[in-house]
């Protein structure tokens, strides 16, 4: 069982969720007032008093294994979302006729990822679409325009939140503009993408977009 180092209103509410308790049932289980439970929901950063933290420790320790597992999953999910919010990446799927633009990452710190679509970090308060255009130009020398927002997800390999955009080639010769991070840049046939990127790591809407009839 995982040990909670510091209980907060948020983690207390996660324990309540794991127990499947209503506010009233959770308050009764702890022997505290309903107003205290309500305050945890209203102020997730609130740190309960020492005696309250001890009560929460005891409830978690005595909880059935299934409840402890649910609590661990809830806290892990919250941690992943916090990381995703801290780091967001915009990814451009740039098409030019029957081709799509790919970059080859140097794999020393890329979690095994090699070939992928141009991508870059979204600055706080910045536009994801603008980041996709900016980073594509910075990495490849290619100017593009966003055609469609394909949606977003937590990347299955990196755990980073990714926002994907289908973009149209405008002008520019594809070349490696960032030799520190990338080993190569090239256009590949749309129907050959799976030779470069494993299908289980590609966001499904990308495959659908690449399979659409070309105009």
70-109 pLDDT per residue, tens? 888 888 766 655 555 567 899 999 999 999 999 998 765 4
Q: With 90 as the cut, is the pLDDT of residue 15 above it?
A: yes
Average pLDDT over residues 173-191: 90
39-52 pLDDT per residue, tens = 898 888 888 888 89
- What pLDDT, on a 0 to 100 scale, did the predictor assign at position 110? 46
Q: CA distances (Å), 21 to each of 24, 41, 42, 54, 127, in order?
A: 8, 13, 17, 19, 40
**What does the mean pLDDT of the chain come to?**
86
Q: With 70 as the cut, is the pLDDT of residue 111 above it?
A: no
Domains detected in the chain: 9-85 (no CATH), 87-211 (3.90.79.10)
Tokens matching residue 62: 């005595």
Q: Please answer whether residues 56 and 47 qualify as being in contact, where contact means their C-beta atoms are separated by less than 8 angstroms.
A: no
Helix (H, G, I), strand (E, B) or coil at 14: helix
134-171 pLDDT per residue, tens = 999 999 999 999 999 999 988 877 778 899 999 999 99
- Reported pTM: 0.59
CB within 8 Å of 20: residues ≥ 6 apart: none
In angstroms, rounded to a whole number, what is the distance separating the alpha carbons of residues 78 and 114? 29
Nearest of 131, 210, 129, 136 to residue 177 by alpha carbon: 136
Tokens matching residue 13: 């509410």
Q: With 80 as the cut, is the pLDDT of residue 215 above it?
A: no
Q: With 50 as the cut, is the pLDDT of residue 213 above it?
A: no
Helix (H, G, I), strand (E, B) or coil at 45: coil
């Amino acid at each position: 069982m995982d040990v909670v180092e510091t209980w907060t209103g948020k983690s207390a509410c996660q324990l309540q969720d794991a127990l499947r308790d209503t506010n009233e049932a959770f308050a009764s289980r702890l022997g505290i007032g309903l107003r205290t439970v309500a305050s945890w929901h209203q102020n997730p950063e609130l740190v309960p008093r020492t005696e309250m933290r001890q009560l929460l420790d005891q409830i978690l320790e005595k909880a059935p294994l299934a409840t402890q597992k649910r609590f661990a999953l809830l806290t892990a999910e919250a941690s992943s979302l916090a990381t995703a919010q801290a780091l967001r990446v915009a990814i451009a799927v740039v098409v030019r006729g029957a081709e799509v633009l790919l970059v080859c990452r140097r794999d020393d710190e890329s979690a095994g990822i090699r070939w992928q679509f141009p991508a870059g970090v979204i600055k706080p308060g910045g536009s994801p679409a603008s980041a996709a255009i900016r980073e594509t130009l910075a990495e490849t020398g290619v100017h593009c325009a966003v055609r469609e927002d394909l949606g977003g997800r937590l990347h299955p390999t990196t755990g980073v939140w990714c926002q994907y955009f289908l973009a149209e080639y405008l002008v520019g010769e594809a070349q490696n503009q960032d030799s520190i991070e990338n080993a190569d840049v090239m256009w590949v046939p749309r129907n050959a993408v799976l030779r470069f990127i494993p299908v289980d790591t590609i966001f499904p809407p990308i495959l659908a977009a690449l399979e659409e009839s070309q105009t």
